[in-house]
Structure 1
Amino acid sequence: MLKNHFKIALRNLWRHRVFSFINITGLSVGITACFFISMYVVFELSYDKFHTKADRIYRVVTDIKTPSETIHTDATSWAFAPNLKLDFPEIESFVRVSGDSYLVKKGNVKFQEEKTLLADSAFFKVFDFKLIKGDPNTALTAPASVVFTETAAKKYFGNADPVGQTVLLTGNNTPATVTGLMKDLPENSQIKADMLVSMSTLTQKFRKGIDEQWGNYGANTYLLLKKGVDAQALQTKFPAFVEKRNGSESRRSQMFATLILEPIKDVYLHSTHGGPAVGSMSNVYVFSIVAVFILLIACINFINLTTARSVERAKEVGIRKVVGAAKGELASQFIGESVVLCLVAFVITVILSVVLLPMFNQLSGKVISPGILSSPVYILILFGTSVVIGLLAGIYPALVLSSFKPIMVLKGRFSTGTQGSLLRKSLVVAQFSISIALIIGTIIVYNQMNFMRNRDLGFSKDQMVVMDTNGDPGKDAFQQSVKSLPGVKMVSQSSSVPGGGNSGAYSEIENKKGDLQVANLDLYFVDFDYLNQFKIKIVAGRPFSRDFISTDTSQAMILNEEAVKLFGYKSPQEAIGRRFKQWGREGKIVGVMKDFHFRSLQEKIKPLSMRVELGGFNLVSVKVDAKNLPATLAAIEAKWKEVIPNRPFSYYFLDEFFDRQYRAEQRFGKLFLNFAILAIAISCLGLLGLASYSTYQRTREIGIRKVLGASTSGIVNMLSSDFMKLVGISFLIASPVAWYFMHKWLQDFAYRIDIQWWVFAVSGVLAMVVALVTISFQAIKAALTNPVKSLRSE
C-alpha cells in the first residue's frame, strides 16, 4: 500500500508540475530561511558557552560612583584581581586581560598587531582556548612571553615551528620568546586576540608597580570560582573588601567602586557594562520571531495551495469511496503525499543551504557555520523539520479531501463548507498580517539607519586620513613633512579621533558653587590645529592658540557643553576662567566647544575635555583633497617610510572608521530586509493559492456573468474585492503590533527617529499593491476564459 501511495504521489506531482513547483519552492525557501535564522540565533546565544568551566567563570565589572555621576565600566583596577584571590578562598583562580597594540618584528617582517591581549598566567587554565604547542601552565608565566594564533604566526614564521623563537616587541625592540601556538580564537568568543603577551611583561618590564594601583581602571578581570561557590553570596562580601583595601583612597578621590559579578555566559548579550564584543538580545528576539513567522507562512502556504487543488481531486476521491476506500486510508494517502512533497522540499533545502550559506555568513558578518555538510546534525534537523511539517501541514487537506461525500461529488455538486472557507481566509489574514508587520519594520529599520548615517555629528569627518604612529619619536617630523605635500589641506595630531575610543580621566573641575567637583571626564589630547581641522565650533571663550603657547600647553582646558551642564552652569560663558585639576595639571577653562558626537549615536553625548599635551599624541590626521587621492596617499606613505621607517604604514579614512560603529545595526537591517522580502514573496504564493481555489469554485458563476454581459474589469473587481478586504483586516491587525515591537527596538538608540504615520500608510498601500498584482494574475485569467467552456462543466 505504501508503495502504491508513493507512486500516486509522484504521478500527481509530475502531472501538476507548475503547481508542485510553486508549492515546493515556497516550502523550501521558507525552511531554508528559517534554518539560517535559527543558526544565527543559536550562534548568538552560544557566546562563551564552549568553556568547560563556563558555569564557574565570572567577569568582574565596576560601578564607580562620583559626586557627578555613576560610571558603569567593564574594567577593574589593576590591583583588584590579585587581592581578591588573596582575600577570598572561594576564588580558585583569576585572569586579567587588557587589549593593546604591539609592534612585532621578526627579521625584515614587521606588523602592528592591533589585536594584542595582555593576559595573566592562568589564561589557559581558566579558558578553553586550545594551545597546539607549548605548555598551557607556563606559556604566559615569564616576562616577555608571547603566544601567537595560527594565523598570526604564519605571518612571521610561515609553516615553521614558532615555539622557542624570538621576536622584537614595541618600538624599543624588546626581545620576547614565543612560548606557545594556539588555534585561532572561536568566532563566538567575546575575548578576541591574534597575539597574547604575558601580563608580567607589563607589570615587571613596561609599567612596574601597576599591580598596586587601585585607582587605575584598565583591566578586564575574570574569576574562576571553586565548585559549589554561590556567586551572589560572594558578591555581598565585596563592599567590605573594597573598604578594607581602598576605603581611604576612595574617600580622598571621592570615587567609590562597587564590584559586580557577571556570568561569562551572559556577558555578550546581557551585560550593561559593555565589553570587547557586545551583542543585542533585542535583535535575537526579533530574528527568532521572524524565523517562526517565515516557517508559519510557509506552512500556511502549503495548506492553502494543497486545499486549492482539492476540488480538482474531488471526483478521484468520490470514485475511490464508491469502490470501497475507507476515510482513514484516503487520509493516510494524502498525508503521505504531503510528506513526499516535503521530502522533495528537504532535498532542495539542503542544496539551497549549501549554496547560500557562504553568502549568509558574509551578510551576517560572522562565520555562523563553515558548511552544513560538515555537521550531520544540521541534515538531521532539516530532515526532521521537513517530515514534521509534512505531517502537520498535510492533516487538514487530508481530512478535507477524505470527507467529500461521493454522491455529491460525482453529481458535480459539493462544497468544502463555510468552516473551511473561514479557515483559509484566516490563514491568509495571518500571512499578510505578518508580511505587513515586516514591511513596517523594514521601513523603520531603514529610516533609523539612514538617520544615523546622515545626522549632523557636529564635526567634519570627510576626506580625513588617520594614521597611528603609536608614539614614534618621528611623529612630529612626519607631521611637518606631510604639510607641504600637494593635495594636503591640513594636518593635526591628537590622542583620539571621534569614534576611536578615548581615555577617562580623573578630574576636579570648579562647579558653580566654587567647589572642585570630582568627575570622570573623557579626555582628548589635541594640538593647536585640531579644532579647526575637524571644524569643532567654540561657543564660549577661545580655542587653543599658539599665541598662548606657554600656558595652553600646561594650564588650559576646553570643555564641551555637556560637561558644562554637569558642573551646574546655565550657560557656557559661566564656565570660562574656572579652575581644573586633571592628571597632574592645574589651570583654567579657556573655552567651551559645541557638543559633537564623538561616540556612536546609540550613546548620549558625554562630558568631554580637551587639553594640549605635546607628549600625548599618537594619531596624525590629514585633511586631503579628494582630487588625485591615490597620488596624495602614495606621497604620504613615502614620507612615512622616510621619517618613521621602523613601523609599517597603515591608515584609515575617518568617515569609514566612524561608520564601523554601526556595522552590527547595518547587518541587522540587511538581514531583516532580505527575510522580510522572502516572507512577503511566500505570502504572495499563499494568496495565489487561495485566489486559484476561489476562482475555480466560481467558474460557472463567471461564465454566466460573462454571458449576461459582464465586462472583464467587472469580473476582476468582483474576484479581487474579497481579497482586498482580507488585506485590509491584516493591516489593522499588523499596524499596532509592529508599532509596539519597533518602538521597543528603537529604545536601544540614544538618538532615534519618531515612528511617523506615513510609515503605516506606505506599508498598507504597498501590501495592497502586491496583493492586487498577485490576485489579478489569476482573476484576469479567469475573466478571459471562454464562457462556453465554463458552462460546459455544469
Structure 2
Amino acid sequence: MFRSYLKIALRNLWKHRTHTVINVVGLAVAFATGLLLFLTSAFELSYDRFHTDADRIFRLYFEENNRDGTSNNSASMPYPLTPALKAEIPELEAVTRIIWSSGGVRRGDQTYRKMVRSCDADFLKVFSFPLKKGNINSALADLSNIVISENMAKDVFGKEDPIGKSLQIRVDDGWRPFVVTGIIGDFPDNSTQQYDALIRVENKGDYAEYKSRWDHTNHDVFVKLKPGVTPAMLERRLQAFTNKYFASDIKEREKDYPKNRLGYQKSLLLMPLTDVHFDTETGNGQGVSRMYIYTLLLVGLFILVIACINFINLTIAQAVGRAREVGVRKSLGAGRAQLFGQIWGETFLLCSVSLLIGLGVAWGSLPTFNQLFSSHLKLDNFLQADVLTVTGLSFLLVTLIAGGYPSWFATRFNAVEVLKGKVSMKRPGVLRNSLIVAQFAIACLLIVCTLVMGQQITYLREKPMGINEEQVISIPVGQDLDGATALQQVRNQLANKPSIVSVSGSGVNIGSGLDGNSSRMMFGFAYKKRDVRCDWLRIDFDYLKTLGVKLVQGRDFSPTFGTDTVSSVLISESMAKQLGESNPVGKFIKPDQKQYQIVGVVSDFNLYSLHQKAEPITLQMSDGPISYVLVRVAPQNLTSAMETVKAAWSAIAPKQEFQGSFLNENTDRWYRREQRLSTIFSTAAGIAILLSCMGLFAIAVLSIEQRTKEIGVRKVLGASVASIVGLLSKDFLKLVLIGIVIASPVAWWAMSQWLTNFAYKIDMPWWVFILAGVLAVVIALLTVSYQSIRAALTNPVKSLRSE
C-alpha cells in the first residue's frame, strides 16, 4: 500500500509540477532562511551561558537619577570598592575587577599585539575558563605573574612549555617583566570576556594614585555569590554598603536630584552575567539589544509563515481537481483516515525534499551569511542536539499546519455529490483570502521597515557632527609606543609633504577604528554651585584645524603659550552654557585637584555616535596619553596620501601593524548593527515579496482555470479584454490593499519603538507607507495581470467547446 501511495504522490506532484516547484522552492528558501536566522539568534542568546555557575555570577552597576528624573546607570567602578566588598560582604565567594586594554607583548626581539586584561586573582574563580596549566589559587598570586591563553602560548612560544618563562608587557608607558604561571583555555566566540593574557590590576599606572579614591571610576567588577545567596539578599547588603562609602555623594545629590526607582539616591545593583551581552545602557551602547535578536527570529518566522500560506492556498485550490479521485476512493471503501494519510503523505514528501534542499542552501551560503551579517556560525552549529531538535519539531509543525488542513479539506467531499459533478469552488473561501491578506501584510511591513531604516542610517551618516571627517586619517598608536613621542615623529616625517595639510593627536578616536578600541573619560564637578558634567578629551596642537572644528571665542592652543600644555583648556559651546557663562574665556574650572583656565570656546561637535546625545566637551593637553595620531590630507589623491602616511608610520614603528583608516569609514562602522538589521529586513522583504508573488501567481492560475468557461461566455457576449482583466485582477488587488491597511499601523508602531534607540532621529516619513503600498500593488498587479491578459485573449471557442 505504501508503494502505491508513493507512486500516486509522485504522479500527482509531477502532474502539477509548476505548483510543486513553487512549493518546494518556497519551503526550501523558508527553511534555509529560518534556520540561519534561528542559529544566529541562538548563538547571541547563548552568550556566557557556558560558565559552570553562570546563574551565580553578576556584574555590579550603579543606578541613580539625573536632575530631570531619567535613569543614569553606570557599570564603571572605583578601585577601592573590590577590597571593601571582600572584607565586608561574606555572601560573596569571589570578586574580580576587569580592565579591558590591548597591550604590547615582547619576547626577545619579537613584539606581539595582544589583549592583555588587568584583573584580580579571583578572575579564575569567578569564571570557569579552564586553566590548562598552573594552579588556580596561585597563578595570579604575585604582581609579576601572567596567565596566557593557549593561542598566545602557540604564537609566542611555539612548542616550548611557557610555564616559568619570562615575557615583557608594555604597561602604560614602559616595559615590565612578567613570568608565565598559567595557561588558560581560549575564550569561546560567545563570551563577553575576551583575552590573550591576564595580569593583576595593581600593575596599572594610575592604581597607586586612585586606589583609595571612591570618586574615580574606570573598570568593571564581577562578583560570584555563594550557593544559597539570592540577588535580592545581596542587594539589601549592598545598599547599606553604598550608603556608607558614598555618603558625601549621596548627601550632595539630595539637594537637587530625585531618588531612583528603589527610593534611594544611589544604589549598587547586580546585573546577571547572561544579561551583560545585551546591556546597551551601561556599556556605552556596545551591547546587543535583545530586540535585535527577537527581530531576527520574527523575520525567519514571517518567511516560514508566507511559505506555509502559499502551500495551504495552492493545496486547497487543487483540492477540487482531486475531488473526483477522493469520491472514487470513498465509493470503493476508503476511509477518511486513509485518504487523509495519503494526501498528508504527499505533503510530508514535499516538505522532506524542501528541508533537504533548504539545509543544503543554508550550509552552502554560510560563508556569505557570516560575512554579510558578521555572524560566527560553523557547521558544528547545525549538528548541536538542541538545533536538531528545534529543526525536527519545526519540520513536523510545518507539515502538520501546511498539510493538515488541506488534507482534511480534501477528504470531507461527499462521494455522491462528487461523482454527480456537483462539487465546485467558484467562490474563494474566507481562509484563502485571509491568508493572502496576511502574507501581503507581512511583505508590506518588511518593506516599510526597510525604507525607514534606510532613511535613519542615511540621516546618521549625513547629519553634521560639527567636524569635517573627510580626508582625515586616524592611526592607533598602540601600547608599544609613547603617544606624544610618536606624534612628534609623525610630524617630523610628514613635514613639507605636499599631500599633508595638518597633523594632530587625540586620546579618543572618532568612530570605530580598525583597532576596535573605544574609551571615554568624563568628569563631574561643581562650578559656582552648578553641577557640571563633561567629556574630558586629551588633544594636541592643530586638533581644531585637523578636524575642522570652529573656534567661536578666544584662541586655540599654541606652542607660543607654555601654559597650554599644563593648565589651559578649550570648552565647547554647550559646556559654556552648562557653566552659565556667556563669555567664559579667562574663567577657571577645577574638575579634580587641579585648576584650569579656559582660553577658548569651540562649536559643539559629536565625539561619539548619534545613538547618544552629545555631552559638553572640555579639551586639554595635560592629562592622559595620546592614543591616536590624526592626519588631514589633501583631497586630490587619497590613495597616494594614505601610502605616504603609511610609509611614515613604518619608519617610526617598523614592527607594528599599520591600522590607519579614514574617519568617515570609522563613523560608518558606528552603525554596522543598524546596517546589518537593515540588510536583513531588505533581504527578508525581497524573499517575502518573491514568495508572496509566487503564491499569488499560482493561485491566479488555478482561479482563472476554474473560471475559463465564465471568461468564454463573457467574451461571446461582447466583453472587452480590458474589462475581463479588470474583473480577474480586482479581487486580488482588494486583498493586497487590505494587507497594506493592516500593515501600516503595525509598521508605524514598530519603527517608532526602534527610533527611540537614537538620540538623533528622523521624523517618521509618511511617504514610505505610500511607497510600500504602491510597490505591493504594482508587484501584485504585474503578477496577476499576466495570467489575466492571457486568459482574456484566449479564443472563447476553446473555452466553450467541452460544454
Within a 5 Å distance, the mapping from 1:437-448 to structure 2 comes to 437-448=445-456
| 1:781 positional shift | 3.1
The C-alpha deviation readout for 1:328-372, integer Å capped at 9, x for no partner, is 322221112111211111211221221122322222212144445
For residues 463 and 545 of structure 2, the distance between their equivalents in structure 1, rounded to whole angstroms, comes to: 20
Contact 1:597 1:605 in 2 (8 A): yes
Is 1:423 aligned to 2:467, yes or no? Answer: no
| 1:667 positional shift | 1.1
Match of 1:777 among 773, 776, 786: 786
Match of 1:174 among 176, 181, 192: 176
Contact 1:372 1:379 in 2 (8 A): no
Match of 1:529 among 528, 542, 552: 542
TM-score calculated relative to the size of structure 2: 0.91
Contact 1:60 1:260 in 2 (8 A): yes
Q: CA 1:434–1:639 in structure 2 vs 1: closer, same or farther (change >3 Å)?
A: closer
Specify the alignment match of 1:116 in structure 2: 116
For residues 737 and 312 of structure 2, the distance between their equivalents in structure 1, rounded to whole angstroms, comes to: 22
Specify the alignment match of 1:538 in structure 2: 551
Q: CA 1:497–1:372 in structure 2 vs 1: closer, same or farther (change >3 Å)?
A: closer
Q: CA 1:310–1:131 in structure 2 vs 1: closer, same or farther (change >3 Å)?
A: same
| 1:726 positional shift | 0.7
Specify the alignment match of 1:99 in structure 2: 100
Specify the alignment match of 2:575 in structure 1: 563
Match of 2:521 among 504, 507, 512: 504
Within a 5 Å distance, the mapping from 1:641-790 to structure 2 comes to 641-644=650-653, 647-790=656-799
Give the 3-state SS of the residue equivalent to 2:95 in structure 1: strand
For residues 380 and 683 of structure 2, the distance between their equivalents in structure 1, rounded to whole angstroms, comes to: 21
Greater shift after overlay, 434-443 or 473-482?
A: 473-482
Q: CA 1:672–1:67 in structure 2 vs 1: closer, same or farther (change >3 Å)?
A: closer
Specify the alignment match of 1:481 in structure 2: 493
Q: Percent identity?
A: 37
Give the root-mean-square deviation of aligned CA atoms: 2.8
Contact 1:140 1:199 in 2 (8 A): no
| 1:645 positional shift | 5.4
Unaligned runs of 5+ in 2: 258-264, 513-517
The residue type equivalent to 1:179 in the other structure is T
TM-score calculated relative to the size of structure 1: 0.92
| 1:694 positional shift | 1.4
| 1:517 positional shift | 3.6
Greater shift after overlay, 36-45 or 659-668?
A: 36-45
Q: CA 1:372–1:235 in structure 2 vs 1: closer, same or farther (change >3 Å)?
A: closer
| 1:553 positional shift | 2.9
| 1:417 positional shift | 7.5
Specify the alignment match of 1:340 in structure 2: 349
| 1:45 positional shift | 2.0
Specify the alignment match of 1:198 in structure 2: 200
Specify the alignment match of 2:148 in structure 1: 148
Greater shift after overlay, 31-40 or 668-677?
A: 31-40
The residue type equivalent to 2:751 in the other structure is M
The residue type equivalent to 1:490 in the other structure is S
Greater shift after overlay, 60-69 or 334-343?
A: 60-69
For residues 243 and 509 of structure 1, the distance between their equivalents in structure 2, rounded to whole angstroms, comes to: 21
For residues 614 and 234 of structure 1, the distance between their equivalents in structure 2, rounded to whole angstroms, comes to: 38
Contact 1:429 1:727 in 2 (8 A): yes
Give the 3-state SS of the residue equivalent to 2:619 in structure 1: strand
Specify the alignment match of 1:326 in structure 2: 335
Contact 1:433 1:734 in 2 (8 A): yes
For residues 635 and 189 of structure 1, the distance between their equivalents in structure 2, rounded to whole angstroms, comes to: 39
Specify the alignment match of 1:449 in structure 2: 457
Q: CA 1:658–1:556 in structure 2 vs 1: closer, same or farther (change >3 Å)?
A: same
For residues 265 and 618 of structure 1, the distance between their equivalents in structure 2, rounded to whole angstroms, comes to: 32
The residue type equivalent to 2:701 in the other structure is S
For residues 753 and 451 of structure 1, the distance between their equivalents in structure 2, rounded to whole angstroms, comes to: 7
Q: CA 1:782–1:505 in structure 2 vs 1: closer, same or farther (change >3 Å)?
A: closer
Specify the alignment match of 1:131 in structure 2: 131
Contact 1:345 1:386 in 2 (8 A): no
| 1:10 positional shift | 2.0
Q: CA 1:694–1:625 in structure 2 vs 1: closer, same or farther (change >3 Å)?
A: same
Q: CA 1:785–1:162 in structure 2 vs 1: closer, same or farther (change >3 Å)?
A: farther
Give the 3-state SS of the residue equivalent to 1:582 in structure 2: coil
| 1:637 positional shift | 3.8
Is 1:553 aligned to 2:562, yes or no? Answer: no
Greater shift after overlay, 460-469 or 378-387?
A: 378-387
The residue type equivalent to 1:563 in the other structure is M
For residues 244 and 406 of structure 1, the distance between their equivalents in structure 2, rounded to whole angstroms, comes to: 85
Contact 2:567 2:622 in 1 (8 A): no
Specify the alignment match of 1:8 in structure 2: 8
| 1:424 positional shift | 0.5
The residue type equivalent to 2:78 in the other structure is S
For residues 385 and 72 of structure 2, the distance between their equivalents in structure 1, rounded to whole angstroms, comes to: 47
Q: CA 1:282–1:67 in structure 2 vs 1: closer, same or farther (change >3 Å)?
A: closer
| 1:495 positional shift | 1.9
Specify the alignment match of 2:18 in structure 1: 18
| 1:790 positional shift | 1.9
The C-alpha deviation readout for 1:743-766, integer Å capped at 9, x for no partner, is 111111111111121111100000
Q: CA 1:107–1:334 in structure 2 vs 1: closer, same or farther (change >3 Å)?
A: same
Specify the alignment match of 1:188 in structure 2: 190
Within a 5 Å distance, the mapping from 1:8-407 to structure 2 comes to 8-63=8-63, 71-113=72-114, 115-170=115-170, 172-202=174-204, 207-208=207-208, 210-247=210-247, 258-270=267-279, 272-274=281-283, 277-375=286-384, 377-407=386-416
Give the 3-state SS of the residue equivalent to 2:100 in structure 1: strand
Specify the alignment match of 1:625 in structure 2: 634
Contact 1:331 1:398 in 2 (8 A): yes
| 1:306 positional shift | 1.1
Greater shift after overlay, 462-471 or 603-612?
A: 462-471
Give the 3-state SS of the residue equivalent to 2:96 in structure 1: strand
For residues 424 and 770 of structure 2, the distance between their equivalents in structure 1, rounded to whole angstroms, comes to: 38
The residue type equivalent to 1:506 in the other structure is F
Contact 2:19 2:698 in 1 (8 A): no
For residues 721 and 29 of structure 1, the distance between their equivalents in structure 2, rounded to whole angstroms, comes to: 29
Specify the alignment match of 1:465 in structure 2: 473
For residues 145 and 379 of structure 2, the distance between their equivalents in structure 1, rounded to whole angstroms, comes to: 33
For residues 586 and 38 of structure 2, the distance between their equivalents in structure 1, rounded to whole angstroms, comes to: 59
| 1:629 positional shift | 4.2
Unaligned runs of 5+ in 1: none
- Say how many residue pairs are matched: 782
| 1:441 positional shift | 0.8
For residues 702 and 606 of structure 1, the distance between their equivalents in structure 2, rounded to whole angstroms, comes to: 70
For residues 555 and 504 of structure 1, the distance between their equivalents in structure 2, rounded to whole angstroms, comes to: 18
The residue type equivalent to 1:494 in the other structure is S
For residues 439 and 43 of structure 1, the distance between their equivalents in structure 2, rounded to whole angstroms, comes to: 27
